[in-house]
Structure 1
Amino acid sequence: MTTNNSVGVPDNHFFGDVCKFFDHAATFTKHDAGLLDQIKSCNSVYRFRFPIRKGNGFEVIDAWRVEHSHHQSPTKGGIRYSEMVNEDEVMALAALMTYKCAIVNVPFGGAKGGIKINPKNYTVGELENITRRYTVELIKKNFIGPSIDVPAPDYGSGEREMSWIADTYATMNPGQLDAMGAVTGKPIALQGIAGRREATGRGVAIAIRECVSVGEDMQKIGLTAGISGKRVIVQGLGNVGYHSAKFLTEFGAIVVGLCEYEGAIYNADGLDVESVFQHRKATGSILGYAGAKREFIDSMEGLEQPCDILVPAALENQITSANIGKIQAKIIAEGANGPTTPEAEAAFYQKGGLIIPDMYANAGGVTVSYFEWLKNLSHVAFGRMNRRFEENSNLNLVNMVEGITGVALNSVQRSTIVKGASELELVNSGLEDTMIRSYHEIRETFMNTEKIDTLRTAAFVGAINKIAVSYQNLGVWP
Structure 2
Amino acid sequence: MSTTNYSFFGAVEQSFDKAAAFTKWDKGILEQIKQCNSVYQMRFPVKMDDGSIEVIEAYRVQHSQHKSPCKGGIRFSEEVNQDEVMALASLMTYKCAIVNVPFGGAKGGIKINPRNHTAYELEKITRRYTSELVKKNFIGPGIDVPAPDYGTGEREMAWIVDTYASLRPGEIDAAGCVTGKPITQGGVRGRREATGLGVFYGIREVCNMPEVMSKLGLTTGVEGKRVVVQGIGNVGYHTAKFFRENGAKIIAISEHDGAVFNPEGLHEDELIEFRKKTGSIVNFPGATTITNTTDALELDCDILIPAALENVINGDNAPRIKAKIIGEAANGPLTPDADEVFAAKGVLVVPDMFLNAGGVTVSYFEWLKNLSHVRYGRLEKRFTENLNTNILGQMEFLSGKKVKKEHRDIITHGPDEVDLVYSGLEETMITAVNEVMDCWKQNPSIPDMRTAAYVVAINKVATSYVELGIFP
C-alpha contact 1:29 1:465 (8 A) present in aligned 2: yes
**Pair 1:235-2:234 in alignment:** no
Structure 1 equivalent of residue 453 of structure 2: 459
**Pair 1:180-2:175 in alignment:** yes
- Given candidates 419, 437, 445, the residue that maps to 1:443 is 437
4+ residue segments displaced more than 4 Å? none
The AA in structure 2 aligned to 1:468 is: A
Q: Describe how 1:261-300 pairs up with structure 2 within 5 A.
A: 261-296=256-291, 298-300=292-294
The AA in structure 1 aligned to 2:274 is: H
- Given candidates 6, 11, 20, the residue that maps to 1:26 is 20
Q: Describe how 1:399-478 pairs up with structure 2 within 5 A.
A: 399-478=393-472
- Given candidates 210, 233, 238, the residue that maps to 1:215 is 210
1:431 shift after superposition:
0.5
- Given candidates 361, 364, 373, the residue that maps to 1:370 is 364
- CA distance in structure 2 between the aligned counterparts of 1:35 and 1:25, rounded to whole angstroms: 14
- Given candidates 95, 99, 115, the residue that maps to 1:100 is 95
Q: Could you say if the C-alpha distance between residues 275 and 463 of structure 1 is closer, same or farther in structure 2, counting changes exceeding 3 Å?
A: same
- CA distance in structure 2 between the aligned counterparts of 1:173 and 1:459, rounded to whole angstroms: 39
Q: Describe how 1:41-440 pairs up with structure 2 within 5 A.
A: 41-56=35-50, 57-296=52-291, 298-440=292-434
- Give the 3-state SS of the residue equivalent to 2:18 in structure 1: helix
C-alpha contact 2:282 2:289 (8 A) present in aligned 1: no
The AA in structure 1 aligned to 2:172 is: L
The AA in structure 2 aligned to 1:384 is: R
Superposed CA deviations along residues 270-324 of structure 1, whole A, max 9, x for unmatched, are 222111122223333222322330222x422222222221111113222211221
Structure 2 equivalent of residue 6 of structure 1: none
- CA distance in structure 1 between the aligned counterparts of 2:225 and 2:72, rounded to whole angstroms: 32
- CA distance in structure 1 between the aligned counterparts of 2:284 and 2:386, rounded to whole angstroms: 50
The AA in structure 2 aligned to 1:98 is: T
1:414 shift after superposition:
2.5
- CA distance in structure 1 between the aligned counterparts of 2:218 and 2:405, rounded to whole angstroms: 42
The AA in structure 2 aligned to 1:85 is: V
- CA distance in structure 2 between the aligned counterparts of 1:52 and 1:299, rounded to whole angstroms: 40
1:175 shift after superposition:
0.6
1:11 shift after superposition:
4.8
Q: TM-score, normalised by structure 1?
A: 0.95
Structure 2 equivalent of residue 5 of structure 1: none
- Give the 3-state SS of the residue equivalent to 2:298 in structure 1: coil
C-alpha contact 1:237 1:258 (8 A) present in aligned 2: yes
1:219 shift after superposition:
2.0
- CA distance in structure 2 between the aligned counterparts of 1:362 and 1:334, rounded to whole angstroms: 7
- CA distance in structure 2 between the aligned counterparts of 1:186 and 1:172, rounded to whole angstroms: 18
Of all paired residues, the percent bearing the same amino acid is 58
Unmatched 5+ stretches in structure 2: none
The AA in structure 1 aligned to 2:55 is: V
1:247 shift after superposition:
0.8
C-alpha contact 2:283 2:289 (8 A) present in aligned 1: no
- Given candidates 34, 38, 45, the residue that maps to 2:32 is 38
C-alpha contact 1:93 1:337 (8 A) present in aligned 2: no
Deviates more, 1:92-101 or 1:266-275: 266-275
C-alpha contact 2:49 2:121 (8 A) present in aligned 1: no
- CA distance in structure 1 between the aligned counterparts of 2:288 and 2:297, rounded to whole angstroms: 15
Count of residue pairs brought into register by the alignment? 468
- CA distance in structure 1 between the aligned counterparts of 2:113 and 2:298, rounded to whole angstroms: 29
Unmatched 5+ stretches in structure 1: 1-9
- CA distance in structure 2 between the aligned counterparts of 1:299 and 1:26, rounded to whole angstroms: 37
